[in-house]
């Protein structure tokens, strides 16, 4: 049977569902018997979910001016005709 130390070292992969089947079952079996590792696993999983909350908040509403200029220059370089029809649908005919 896996030890608590082994289970904690597999915890991250377990949370991700990235363990081979046999190992995963070993962890699950251990968790049935061990409330301490259950608590640890739960806290590790919470940590990953809380981290998600650190994302976002700094997306610009629109591209920086340099990027937009670069796009227009690139489009012009590729042939000016497209510049007149920016909304042309691209569905296959």
Partner 1 sequence: MSQSDRLPRTVPAPARPGSDGGDVHGLGQAGPTISVADRALVARLLEGDEPAFEALVASLHGPMLRFVRVFLKRSDVAEEVVQETWLAVLRGLPAFEGRSSLKTWIFHILSNRARTRATREGRVIPFADLAAPGDDATETGLEDRFTPDGRWSEPPAPWQVDTPEAIALRREAMQQLAAALETLPDAQRAVVTLRDVEGWSAQDVCNALDISETNQRVLLHRARTRLRRTLGEVLGR
Q: Based on CB atoms, which residue is closest to partner 1, 28 or 68? A: 68
Q: Who contacts 82 (Cβ-Cβ below 8 Å, separation ≥6)?
A: 75, 88
Interface characters, 32-71, with partner 1 (x: CB under 8 A): ---xxx-xx-xxx-xxxxxxxxxxxxxxxxxxx-xxx-xx
With 0-12 / 13-18 / 19 or more C-beta atoms within 10 angstroms meaning exposed / middle / buried, residue 14 is buried
The footprint of partner 1 (CB under 8 A) covers: 3-6, 8-9, 11-13, 15-16, 18, 35-37, 39-40, 42-44, 46-64, 66-68, 70-72, 74-75, 78, 82-83, 85-88, 90-93
């Amino acid at each position: 049977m896996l030890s608590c130390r082994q289970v904690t070292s597999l915890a991250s992969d377990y949370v991700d569902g990235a363990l081979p089947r046999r190992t995963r079952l070993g962890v699950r079996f251990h968790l049935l018997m061990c409330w301490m590792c259950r608590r640890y696993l739960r806290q590790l999983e919470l940590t990953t979910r809380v981290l998600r909350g650190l994302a976002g908040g700094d997306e610009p509403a629109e591209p920086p001016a340099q990027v937009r200029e670069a796009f227009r220059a690139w489009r012009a370089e590729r042939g000016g005709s497209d510049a007149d029809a920016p909304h042309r649908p691209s569905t296959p005919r």
